[in-house]
């Protein structure tokens, strides 16, 4: 019988995230506080890679109401995030609206996700 720790390990198996974070830090001369992650396990992913959590909600699937979309957009702008890394399975229409509202454009694709960079100074 698997233990709860086994489930936690499964949640954190986004193997290319760490190398993509390092690439962004090196290529764009930013610090980890300027990078956020959005995934189904974003709290664990953010802590493991010492970056910010991308949404004020527990999951991208929680973005249902227009008020949640607006709040998430304002939150990203307010925190000064320059890059958002999104897991491929988390990138739905609601999240795309939030990223567009906050001024993010897609800049690269990596094995398990997409990286967005802000276009708003």
Residue 26 has pLDDT above 80, yes or no: yes
Query: Whole-angstrom distance between the N-terminal and C-terminal Cα of the chain?
Result: 51
At 4 the pLDDT is 44
State the pLDDT at residue 121.
54
d(CA 121, CA 103): 9
pLDDT of 5 reads 39
CA distance 77 to 35: 12
Task: Look at residue 13 in the predicted model and tell me its pLDDT.
Answer: 61
Evaluate if residue 112 carries a pLDDT over 70: yes
- Give the helix ranges, DSSP H, for the chain: 4-11, 17-28, 42-49, 66-78, 93-101
pLDDT at 120 over 80: no
Return the structure tokens found at 31: 């610090």
Confidence (pTM): 0.84
Q: List the domain range (segments joined by +) for residue 75.
A: 4-118
How high is the pLDDT of residue 60? 81
List pLDDT tens digits, range 33-89: 999 999 888 888 888 889 999 998 877 878 888 999 999 999 999 998 999 999 988
Instruction: Note the Cα 55 to chain centre separation in Å.
Output: 8
- Please report the pLDDT score of residue 12 as a whole number: 52
Spatial distance between the Cα atoms of 55 and 60, rounded to a whole number of angstroms: 7
Q: How many domains would you assign to the chain?
A: 1
């Amino acid at each position: 019988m698997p233990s709860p720790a086994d489930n936690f390990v499964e949640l954190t198996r986004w193997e290319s995230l760490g190398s993509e974070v390092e690439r962004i830090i090196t290529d764009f001369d930013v610090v980890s506080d300027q990078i956020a992650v959005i995934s189904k396990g974003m709290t664990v992913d953010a802590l493991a890679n010492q970056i910010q959590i991308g949404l004020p909600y527990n999951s991208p699937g929680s973005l249902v109401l227009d008020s949640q979309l607006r709040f998430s957009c304002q939150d990203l702008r307010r925190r000064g995030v320059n890059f958002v890394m999104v897991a491929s399975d988390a990138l739905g229409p609601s999240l795309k609206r939030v990223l567009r509202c906050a001024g993010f454009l897609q800049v690269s694709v990596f094995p398990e996700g997409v990286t967005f960079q802000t276009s708003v100074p």
